């Protein structure tokens, strides 16, 4: 019954996404291997990010979910059916530390069974075209799982880039990009220092994500975003759009472009309005 419920819900969400977005495009599905996988995605939209990643692949990932969402027994059962696992953090209190260890053991068990996990490496969501520093949680889960299997498990990390034209507007466009798999065990042949292994894995994943999204940075973001949009040309294909946007960003940073007359189309107006109300929120999913 649990499997049937999840399957039906996933099909319903896919159908809803096709109606919500004017264009929903996916690239890189061929990069998703069988076996244990950790999807690490950027996090710009609190709810839709998880739905988009799950519905863009035939894999059925488990989600790391803020522990405070769990509480009542009936809700715990429902969230479990949705493949959500509670994550306990230090700020949740000293008593949560043991539960955190139990959660880590469950993540390891899932990977050893060949399952997939979805983690938002930035730790919370922010409504910006920016990749913020990744936390080490996903790397720790991956390395701990490999250590327990004597580095024979074969865990792969898949960077996932989510690129929205507009974050909350129906009839807009979104690109989901699955990057090249990163083999966790390869770091064991380079160094046995766990901190270095963690840092190497975070760095590789960060580099992978940067090629899958527009990254405007965090310095003077509002002004940079408005200027970027004023120079932007809309492309029909979203993969082509991403490559164009990346080249445009490089040109803007090097000063090798001339400013076009600024025309406030609907997309620019909506995005500019969003910029005035940007806020960083602690959300449920890692």
Residue 57: the pLDDT is: 96
Task: Report the distance separating Cα 159 and Cα 153, nearest Å.
Answer: 19
Mean pLDDT of 91-120: 82
20: closest CA among 51, 54, 44, 46? Answer: 51
| Bridge-based pairing state of the strands 156-164 and 84-87 | unpaired
For 121, counting Cβ atoms within 10 Å of its Cβ (0-12 exposed, 13-18 middle, 19+ buried), the class is buried
User: What residue has token string 């049937």?
Assistant: 4
Residue 104: the pLDDT is: 82
Strand partners, 174: 24, 164
Mean pLDDT of 194-207: 94
Mean pLDDT of 7-20: 93
Which two structure tokens, joined as six digits, stand for 6?
A: 């999840």
Convert the pLDDT of each residue in 215-255 to its tens digit. Answer: 998 788 888 888 898 889 999 999 999 999 999 988 887 77
Convert the pLDDT of each residue in 127-143 to its tens digit. Answer: 889 899 999 999 999 99
CATH match of 2-210 with 3.50.50.60: no
Q: Supply the mean pLDDT for the chain.
A: 83
Supply angle C-alpha 220, 225, 229, rounded to 5: 155
Convert the pLDDT of each residue in 141-195 to its tens digit. Answer: 999 999 999 999 999 999 999 999 988 889 999 999 999 999 998 766 667 788 9
Residue 285: the pLDDT is: 41
Q: Are 157 and 201 in contact (CB under 8 A)?
A: yes
Convert the pLDDT of each residue in 70-79 to its tens digit. Answer: 556 655 666 6
Task: Report the distance separating Cα 143 and Cα 231, nearest Å.
Answer: 43
**Residue 50, by phi and psi: left (phi above 0), alpha (psi -120 to 50) or beta?**
alpha
Strand partners, 163: 175
């Amino acid at each position: 019954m649990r499997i049937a419920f999840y399957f039906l819900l996933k099909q319903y969400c896919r159908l809803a996404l096709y109606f919500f977005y004017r264009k929903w495009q996916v690239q890189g599905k061929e990069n998703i291997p069988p076996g244990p996988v950790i999807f690490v995605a950027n996090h710009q939209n609190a709810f839709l990010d998880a739905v988009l990643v799950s519905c863009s692949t035939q894999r059925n990932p488990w989600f790391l979910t803020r522990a405070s969402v769990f509480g009542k027994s009936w809700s715990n059962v429902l969230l479990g059916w949705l493949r959500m696992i509670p994550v306990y953090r230090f700020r949740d209190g000293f008593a949560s530390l043991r539960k955190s260890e139990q959660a880590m053991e469950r993540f390891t068990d899932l990977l050893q069974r060949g399952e997939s996990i979805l983690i938002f490496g930035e730790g919370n969501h922010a409504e910006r075209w920016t990749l913020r520093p990744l936390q080490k949680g996903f790397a720790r889960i991956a390395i701990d799982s490999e250590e327990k299997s004597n580095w024979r498990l074969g865990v792969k990390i898949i960077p996932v880039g989510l690129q929205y034209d507009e974050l909350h507007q129906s009839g807009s466009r979104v690109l989901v990009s699955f990057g090249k798999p990163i083999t966790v065990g390869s770091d064991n042949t380079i160094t046995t220092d766990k901190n270095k292994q963690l840092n190497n894995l975070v760095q590789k994943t960060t580099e992978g994500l940067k090629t899958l999204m527009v990254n405007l940075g965090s310095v003077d973001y509002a002004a940079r975003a408005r200027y970027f949009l004023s120079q932007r040309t809309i492309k029909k294909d979203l993969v082509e759009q991403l490559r164009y946007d990346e080249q445009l960003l490089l040109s803007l940073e090097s000063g090798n472009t001339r400013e076009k007359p600024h025309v406030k189309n609907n997309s620019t107006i909506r995005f500019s309005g969003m910029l005035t109300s940007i806020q960083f929120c602690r959300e449920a999913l890692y």
